[in-house]
Amino acid sequence: MMAATVVEMMSQTQSNGFQSKKKEEADNKDNLWSSILAEVQNSGNNKLPSYKNVLVLGDNESGKTTLIAKLQGVEDPKKGSGLEFAYIDVRDDYRDDQTRLSVWVLDGDPGHTNLLRFALSAERFPHTLVMLVAAMTSPWAILEQLQSWAAILGDHVDKLSLDNDTRQHCRQLNIKKWQEYTEPGDELDPGSPLRRTSRNLDEEAVDGLPLPDGVLTTNLGLDVVVVITKTDYMTTLEKEHDYKDEHFDFMQQWVRRFCLQYGAGLFYTSAKEDKNCDLLYKYLTHRIYSLPFRTPALVVEKDAVLIPAGWDNMKKISILHENLQTMKPDSYYRDIITQPQVNRKTVAREVEVQAEEEQTFLAKQQAALTGFKDPTRSPTTRNQASSETIIQVASPNKKLDPKSAGNTPGGEGVLANFFNSLLSKKSGASPGSPGTPGAVVSSTVKTEITSPDAGPVDKAAMRNDAAAELDRLTRMKKIPPPDLNSSSEC
């Protein structure tokens, strides 16, 4: 019995060991599948999201469309109207992944602000970055334009149907991003004595500590980047409007104060000279997709300023105050950066024309027409300064003066004698024959033409001279042929 019991116990032990081993293998297999699934899930979470958005706001002619085309790599940008839509290709070489970043560009006309609801809805709010754009071509309006569009954006955000938790979460995320900013390279060596942060806080800093003065006093819950475009125009401002370095420093310190207020980064760009456009693209992908951005703040070159969000503070801004010799830092912006006077002569104001009462107008026209029919009114004389030679033809009762006509250039005296010969008739001519050509010829032949200075003129020679003169005038085409039906008198 004891031997049988030992055998049974051994067989049961072996069976239990086999089952436990089988169970262990099954558990390992399950763990393997679990690890594979977890790895796939983690890699899926690391992919670049496709629902991120950029909203671009700014006045017309501020360079919004050109800037986005530069970020896209497009050479010939096409301007739209209302609300433009575009996308930027984003690639993560480290993870070999790519996606498209949606870009909404709102028209600068304030009448189109109602279109904001399509670009920035409650669903898109947590996934949207806003770019406020102004141009250096109108430096006197930069601060006013930024403040105006920020106010429009704030009013729109207040009207969104966001729950309080989402709104507070986005605001806290803005504060956290600002506080966690470190200089590029410092994150690799946390113990470095050169480690600098914009907060000047200890390593033990925790959320909830107050932000520096002037930082995020207006927290919209949105990531904001301020872009000043067309900085290549600074050289024109220096040459044509006598801008000095202190003018640009005065402008910069005001813009940087504005950026502190909204927790925004600042970029000075020039698409024409390709300044900071590539860095702006990298910064956007850093803020939206957490891709690396290792460029430090750049404040030395006045036309290529780059200040990441979290780097700046009032103490750093006060360094610019040392260069302001003829102006005060707190002076009103447009008192220092004034708009050039527009030449009023070039602006022609249209004179308002008052329409005359209809009956009064018609009465004047009637009076004018009646005056033309008045026989006592002298006819309008021709312009005596006309370059055309005017030949007067005498009436049947008056002869031309051959002597005075002979003084005219071109031998018009010959023509005068010829016409006098046609008009001169003997008193015994037949009254019924003037209408026939024969009568004219016969009267011409029988007429004796005399000159005051000479005796009788040969009639055949006169006819030949007149024909030759008419032929000469016709060939030269300088004087139009005389109109025999015209008369100098009514």
Contacts of 270 (CB under 8 A, 6+ apart): 229, 230, 231, 232, 276, 277, 303, 304
pLDDT digits (tens, 9 = 90+) for 216-274: 999 999 999 999 999 999 999 999 999 999 999 999 999 999 999 999 999 999 999 99
Distance, C-alpha 255 to centroid of its chain: 23
Q: What is the mean pLDDT of residues 433-442?
A: 43
Instruction: Give the model's pLDDT for residue 79.
Output: 80
Phi, psi (deg, nearest 5) at residue 234:
-60, -35
Q: Check pLDDT > 90 for residue 158.
A: yes
The percent of residues above 90 in pLDDT, for the chain, comes to 48
d(C-alpha 312, C-alpha 307), whole Å: 7
Instruction: Give the model's pLDDT for residue 152.
Output: 97
Lowest mean pLDDT among 15-24, 62-71, 273-282, 311-320: 15-24
d(C-alpha 403, C-alpha 382), whole Å: 24
Domains of the chain: 53-183+212-323 (3.40.50.300)
The amino acid sitting at 253 is Q
pLDDT category of residue 353 using cuts at 50, 70 and 90: confident
Instruction: Give the model's pLDDT for residue 29.
Output: 57
pLDDT category of residue 188 using cuts at 50, 70 and 90: low
* 8 Å CB contact between 410 and 468: no
Q: Check pLDDT > 90 for residue 60.
A: yes
Beta bridge partners of 56: 105, 131
Instruction: Give the model's pLDDT for residue 88.
Output: 95
Distances (CA, A) of 63 to 133, 150, 274: 8, 18, 13
pLDDT digits (tens, 9 = 90+) for 315-345: 999 999 999 999 999 999 999 999 988 655 5
d(C-alpha 315, C-alpha 318), whole Å: 5
Instruction: Give the model's pLDDT for residue 55.
Output: 97
First to last CA, the chain: 168
Lowest mean pLDDT among 25-29, 421-425, 443-447, 458-462: 443-447
* 8 Å CB contact between 208 and 235: no
Lowest mean pLDDT among 25-29, 171-175, 227-231, 418-422: 25-29
Mean pLDDT of the chain: 77
pLDDT digits (tens, 9 = 90+) for 75-128: 888 887 899 999 999 998 888 899 999 999 999 998 899 999 999 999 999 999
pLDDT digits (tens, 9 = 90+) for 380-422: 444 444 444 444 444 444 444 544 444 444 455 666 676 667 6
Token output for 428: 């015994």
Q: What is the mean pLDDT of residues 23-37?
A: 62
Helix or strand (DSSP H, E) at 284: helix 277-289
Instruction: Give the model's pLDDT for residue 93.
Output: 83
Beta bridge partners of 103: 54, 86
The amino acid sitting at 58 is G
Question: Highest mean pLDDT: which of 152-156, 204-208, 406-410, 486-490?
Answer: 152-156
Instruction: Give the model's pLDDT for residue 312.
Output: 96
Instruction: Give the model's pLDDT for residue 8.
Output: 55
Q: Check pLDDT > 60 for residue 9.
A: no
